[in-house]
Amino acid sequence: MLEAMRRLWWQALDRVCGFFVLLRLSIRDRIYGPDPPTAADLEREADHERLVRAFPVVGEATERRDVDLRGAKQAD
C-alpha cells in the first residue's frame, strides 16, 4: 500500500513538473518565436511530399498543416 501511494505521489509530481516545463516552453516560443526548421525537418518534409506524390492515398490519411516547416502558408 505504501509503495502504491509513493508511486502515485511521484506520478502526480511528474505531471505537475511536466506542466511547468510546457508552460515555460510556450512562453519562450511566444517571446522568441518557434525554432527554425532543422535540416532533418526539411528532409522529412521532402520525403513526405515524395510519398504523397507516389502514393496519393497517403496524403489523404495525413492531416494537412496550415503552415509548412518553412513558415509559408499553404494554399488550400
pLDDT of res. 76 = 44
pLDDT of res. 57 = 76
Which residues make Cβ contacts (< 8 Å) with residue 62, sequence separation at least 6? 48, 52
pLDDT of res. 62 = 66
pLDDT by residue for the chain (76 residues), tens only, comes to 889 999 999 999 999 999 999 999 999 999 999 889 999 999 999 998 998 888 877 667 665 555 555 555 555 4
Give domain limits for the chain.
1-35, 36-69
Task: Give the DSSP per-residue string, 17-36.
Answer: HHHHHHHHHHHHHHHH-PPP
pLDDT of res. 56 = 79
pLDDT of res. 19 = 97
